[in-house]
Structure 1
Amino acid sequence: MRCLTIRQPWATLVALGEKNYETRSWRTTYRGELAIHAGLKIDKAACRREPFQSILAKHGYTEENLPTGVIIATGKLKECHEITGLNSVAQWIGENERAIGDYTEGRFAWELENVRPLVHHVPAKGRLGFWEYPLSEEEEHF
């Protein structure tokens, strides 16, 4: 399965359905199934800022209990939007989404859909960019 490593707390926000766009500096033509991997690093300063802190707390998370080094969700990469200015994205993102993503002009907003958190996280070593996770027969339920 194709995977994407995302730093915490952003990975958990995606898994919880609180973040529907992952912003990146690069465009992708890939569309389809995607596993979300929580990287090993946690941006603790972000976890202490609003709206991050309130959103995480609503789901029982703090910087201390965020999962790391595991695949935490699956979903689909639906579309990749080029950001041409904040006005270009204001029509399709909400206030919280704008506050927890980097919508700087020239970046790309990857639209995610049907994201479902995994009941059992899958340990995996993340990588930059897309990477493949080989599914065993037991993990076909992803």
Structure 2
Amino acid sequence: MKAITIKQPWATLMALGEKRFETRGWQTKHRGELAIHAGKQVDRDACEIPKIKKALARHGYTADNLPTGAVIAIAELKECFGIRRDVLGGVVALEADTRKTHFNTLDKEFAFGWFESGRYAWELAGVQQLPQPIPAKGQLSIWNWEGVQS
């Protein structure tokens, strides 16, 4: 199964269903199952951003108890959108070959990613948090995880 390593707290926000777009500086053609791997690093400053802190707290998490170095969820990568940001209108437009969508910069999703023009938003759906994190060594880019056979 393909996997992606995501720094904490963003990996947990994804696993909890609080975050549905993973923002990256590169696009991918992969679609389908994707394991969400929580990297070993925790951005403690990000955990103090009010919208992130509140979302984590709803599920009993803080910077001190986030799982690291493990696969924590399985999702379906539905689409990879190019990001176009309209700074004056406060709108982020996501555009792909098959469809377009947008949201206001006041949306909590905006606080959970880096939505700058020229970047990419990977839409994940059907996220299933694993009952227990499965230890795994992460990698850069999309990588093959042998922990679960699809």
Q: By the TM > 0.5 criterion, same fold?
A: yes
Q: Give the AA of the match of 2:28.
A: T
Q: Aligned residue pairs: how many?
A: 138
Name the structure 2 match of 1:119.
Answer: 131
| Greater strand share, structure number | 2
RMSD value over aligned CA atoms? 1.6
Q: Distance in 2 between matches of 1:44 and 1:124?
A: 22
Q: Distance in 1 between matches of 2:111 and 2:133?
A: 27
| Greater helix share, structure number | 1
Name the structure 2 match of 1:42.
Answer: 42
Name the structure 2 match of 1:23.
Answer: 23
SS of residue matched to 2:77: strand
Q: Distance in 1 between matches of 2:38 and 2:102?
A: 29
Q: Distance in 2 between matches of 1:84 and 1:38?
A: 27
Q: Distance in 1 between matches of 2:109 and 2:83?
A: 14
Please give the TM-score of this superposition, normalised by the length of structure 1: 0.92
Shift of 1:14: 0.2
Q: Distance in 1 between matches of 2:41 and 2:74?
A: 20
Query: How far does the alpha carbon of each residue in 1:18-44 deviate from its partner, in whole angstroms, 9 at most, with x for none?
Result: 000000000111100000000000000
Shift of 1:129: 0.4
Shift of 1:110: 0.2
Percent of matched pairs sharing the same residue:
48
The reply on whether 1:59 has 2:59 as its aligned counterpart is yes
Q: Distance in 2 between matches of 1:35 and 1:68?
A: 14
Q: Distance in 2 between matches of 1:76 and 1:92?
A: 21
Moved more, 80-89 or 61-70: 80-89
Moved more, 118-127 or 81-90: 81-90
Structure 2 gaps of 5+ residues are: 95-100
Structure 1 gaps of 5+ residues are: none
The reply on whether 1:8 has 2:19 as its aligned counterpart is no
Shift of 1:91: 2.5
Please give the TM-score of this superposition, normalised by the length of structure 2: 0.87
